[in-house]
Amino acid sequence: MSLQKNDLNKKTILVTGAAGFIGSNLVHRLLQEFPDCRVVGVDNLNDYYDVSLKEYRLKKVEKTPGGNRFTFFRQDISERAGMEELFRREKFDIVVNLAAQAGVRYSIENPDVYIKSNLIGFYNVLELCRYYPVEHLVYASSSSVYGDNEKIPFSTDDMTDRPVSLYGATKKSNELLAYSYAKLYGIPCTGLRFFTVYGPAGRPDMAYFGFTQKLLAGKTIEIFNYGNCKRDFTYVDDIVTGIVNVMRCPPKSGEQNGRKSAPAMVYNIGNSSPENLLDFVNILQEELVAAGLLPADYNFEAHRKLLPMQPGDVPATFADVSALERDFDFKPSTTLREGLHKFVQWYREYYQQK
Q: CA–CA separation, 13 vs 313, rounded Å? A: 34
Q: If you average pLDDT over every residue of the chain, what do you get?
A: 94
Beta-strand runs (E) in 176-263? 189-194, 197-198, 221-224, 230-231, 234-235, 255-256, 259-260
Asked whether residue 1 carries a pLDDT value surpassing 50, the answer given is no
Report d(CA 95, CA 239) in Å as an integer: 17
Is the per-residue pLDDT at 2 higher than 60? no
For 180, 186, 254, 256, 262, the CA distances from 259, given in Å and listed in that order, are: 15, 14, 8, 5, 10
What gap in Å lies between CA 27 and CA 204, rounded to an integer?
20
Q: Which of 167, 181, 235, 347 is catalytic?
A: 167
pTM of this structure? 0.96
CA–CA distance, 218 with 288 (Å, rounded to integer): 13
- Tens of pLDDT, residues 334-351: 999 999 999 999 999 999
Residue 3: pLDDT over 80: no
Q: What is the pLDDT of residue 170?
A: 96
Give the pLDDT confidence score for residue 135 in this predicted structure. 98
CA atoms of 100 and 141, how far apart (whole Å): 10
Rounded CA-CA distance 82/68 in Å is 23
Distance CA 298, CA 304 (A): 12
SS3 call for 317: coil
Q: Once rounded to an integer, what is the mean pLDDT over residues 328-333? A: 96
Domains of the chain by range and CATH? 12-196+236-270+318-333 (3.40.50.720)
Span 278-322, pLDDT tens digits: 999 999 999 999 999 999 999 999 999 988 888 878 888 999 999
Farthest CA pair distance, the chain: 69
Active site residue 167: yes
